[in-house]
């Protein structure tokens, strides 16, 4: 995407600014002023309209994909590995069963 000064003057947003906010704009998670600025930019920028439409199409397809859950055997293996790691951390003294977990 190319930033066009005339569009920035109109809306206060560049093409890159709009691209950064595309998902939030489509999901209506932007404050009203930012939403208006995005709409103004889109009104004057055909490239961003195409980009936003592409993001919308991909998002729609992804929402309709079936959920994928790990196989039961994979969940079992993961639980076993986490248990081994936790035991190793407790035995080495880096993790106490009485204290809360440390964040990385």
Quick: pLDDT tens for 44-57: 899 999 999 999 99
Q: Contact 54/48 with Cβ under 8 angstroms? A: no
How far, in Å, CA of 53 to CA of 45, rounded?
13
Is residue 47 within 8 A of residue 2, CB to CB? The reply is yes
> How much is the pLDDT for 20?
95
Per-residue model confidence (pLDDT) at position 10: 65
Q: Which of 6, 4, 25, 26 is nearest to 15 (CA)?
A: 4
Query: Which residues in the chain land under pLDDT 70?
Result: 1-10, 70, 89-91, 93-104
């Amino acid at each position: 995407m190319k930033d066009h000064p005339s569009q920035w003057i109109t809306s206060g947003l560049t093409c890159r600014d709009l691209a950064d906010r595309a998902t939030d704009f489509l999901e209506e998670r932007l404050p009203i002023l930012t939403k208006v600025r995005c709409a103004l930019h889109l009104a004057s920028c055909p490239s961003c309209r195409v980009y936003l439409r592409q993001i919308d199409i991909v998002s729609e397809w992804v929402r309709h994909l079936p959920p994928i859950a790990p196989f039961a055997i994979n969940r079992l293996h993961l639980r076993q590995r986490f248990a081994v790691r936790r035991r190793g951390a407790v035995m080495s003294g880096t993790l106490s069963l009485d204290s809360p977990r440390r964040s990385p």
